[in-house]
């Protein structure tokens, strides 16, 4: 598919698809006229990239971890230098921290919302009992 379709299907501005390419996150083919042409699988890949960006990872890191997330992965064992492994372990730990932080705060929001809701219910109840 061409860039327009990928853009529509992933909800990503064309500008950013080119940017991700520039950052080495995706590598489209080119057809004879110079147009980029994207493999079907890049739809998921782009959404994965967007999710990771939204979760605070910079493209530099995403580029490093992306190749390790594919199966079959035997192909990528060559990347597994000790430095790379250390990087991955470090990023995994940072992601775990992020998950903890997000979970904690999300749960607090949920709790707050529950409290507000039950508060409103009792408001409504007492109002009903005084106005009727």
Partner DNA sequence: TCAAACCATCACATTGATGTGAAGGTCAAA
Partner DNA sequence: TTTGACCTTCACATCAATGTGATGGTTTGA
Give the number of other Cβ atoms within 10 Å of residue 25's Cβ.
21
- How far apart are the two ends of the chain, measured CA to CA in Å? 64
Check: CB of residue 49 under 8 Å from CB of residue 26: yes
Return the one option of a second copy, DNA, none that residue 13 interacts with (CB less than 5 to 8 A, by type): DNA
Asked whether the CA dihedral 19, 20, 24, 28 is positive or negative, the reply is negative
Beta bridge partners of 37: 29
Beta bridge partners of 36: 30
Q: How far apart are alpha carbons 60 and 64 in whole angstroms?
A: 7
Return the one option of DNA, a second copy, none that residue 97 interacts with (CB less than 5 to 8 A, by type): a second copy
5 binds DNA (CB under 7 A): yes
**What's the closest the beta carbon of residue 4 comes to a second copy, in angstroms?**
25
Site residues for a second copy per CB under 8 A: 48, 51-56, 65, 68-69, 73, 76-77, 80, 85, 88-89, 91-92, 94-99, 101-103, 105-106, 108-110, 112-113, 115-116, 119-120
Return the one option of DNA, a second copy, none that residue 83 interacts with (CB less than 5 to 8 A, by type): none
13 binds DNA (CB under 7 A): yes
For the chain, how many residues are written?
A: 132
**What's the closest the beta carbon of residue 94 comes to DNA, in angstroms?**
13
Give the number of other Cβ atoms within 10 Å of residue 36's Cβ.
19
The nearer residue to a second copy, 96 or 126, going by C-beta atoms, is 96
Of 17-25, 72-80, 94-102, 105-113: span binding DNA (CB under 7 A): 17-25
């Amino acid at each position: 598919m061409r860039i327009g379709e990928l853009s529509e299907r992933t909800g990503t501005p064309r500008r950013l698809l080119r940017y991700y390419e520039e950052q080495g996150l995706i590598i489209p083919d080119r057809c004879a006229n110079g147009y980029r042409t994207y493999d079907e699988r890049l739809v998921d890949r782009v959404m994965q990239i967007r999710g990771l960006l939204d979760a605070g990872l910079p493209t530099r890191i995403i580029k490093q971890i992306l190749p390790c997330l594919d199966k079959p992965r035997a192909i990528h064992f060559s990347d597994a230098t000790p430095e790379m492994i250390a990087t991955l372990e470090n990023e995994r730990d940072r992601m775990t921290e992020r998950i903890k932080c997000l979970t904690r705060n999300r749960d607090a929001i949920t709790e707050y919302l529950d409290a507000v809701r039950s508060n409103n219910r009792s408001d409504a109840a007492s109002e009903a009992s005084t106005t009727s």
